[in-house]
Amino acid sequence: MTEMVYGSMPVRVTEPVLPRWWRTIDKWSLTAVLVLFGIGILLGLAASVPLATRNGLDPFYYVQRQAFFGALAIAAMLGTSMLTPDMVRRLAVVGFVGAFFALAMLPVFGTDFGKGAVRWFSFGFASVQPSEFLKPGFIVLSAWLMAAAQEVNGPPGKSISFGITCIIVGFLAMQPDFGQAMLVLFGWGVVYFVAGAPFLLITVIISITGVAGFVAYGSSEHLARRIDGFLSPEVDPRSQLGYATNAIQEGGFFGVGVGEGQVKWTLPDAHTDFIIAVAAEEYGLILVLCIIALYGCVVVRSMFRLMKERDPFVRLAGAGLACIFGVQAMINMGVAVRLLPAKGMTLPFVSYGGSSVIAAGITVGMLLALTRTRPQGQMGDILFRRGR
For 246-300, the DSSP string reads HHHHHHTTT-S-TT--SGGGT-TTTTTTTHHHHHHHHHHHHHHHHHHHHHHHHHH
Which distant-in-sequence residues (6+ apart) come within 8 Å of 274 by Cβ?
A: 240, 243, 244, 263, 267, 336
Which distant-in-sequence residues (6+ apart) come within 8 Å of 122 by Cβ?
A: 111, 113
| Rounded-to-integer distance, Cα 266 and Cα 99, Å | 35
- Residue 358: give the domain boundaries: 25-373
pLDDT at 155: 85
The verdict on residue 164 lying in a domain is yes
| Rounded-to-integer distance, Cα 102 and Cα 128, Å | 10
The verdict on residue 260 lying in a domain is yes
pLDDT at 380: 44
Q: Which residues of the chain have pLDDT under 70?
A: 1-14, 114-116, 216-226, 228-239, 376-388
Cβ atoms of residues 261 and 247 within 8 Å = yes
Q: Tell me the H-state helices in 56-84.
A: 61-81
pLDDT at 4: 46
Neighbours of 185 (CB within 10 A): 19
- How many angstroms separate the Cα of 349 from the Cα of each of 26, 95, 357? 18, 20, 5
The verdict on residue 17 lying in a domain is no
Cβ atoms of residues 273 and 340 within 8 Å = no
Please tell me the chain's helix, strand, coil percentages from 3-state DSSP, rounded to the nearest 5.
70, 0, 30
pLDDT at 86: 93
pLDDT at 338: 78
pLDDT at 379: 42
**Structural domain tally of the chain?**
1
What does the buried/exposed string (b/e) look like for 281-297 if buried means 16 or more CB atoms within 10 Å of the residue's CB? bbbbeebbeebeebbeb
* C-alpha torsion sign, points 180, 184, 185, 187: positive
pLDDT at 52: 81
pLDDT at 295: 96
Tell me the whole-structure pTM to 2 decimals. 0.87
Nearest C-alpha neighbor of 135 from the set 302, 356, 386:
356
| Rounded-to-integer distance, Cα 51 and Cα 42, Å | 16
Neighbours of 5 (CB within 10 A): 6
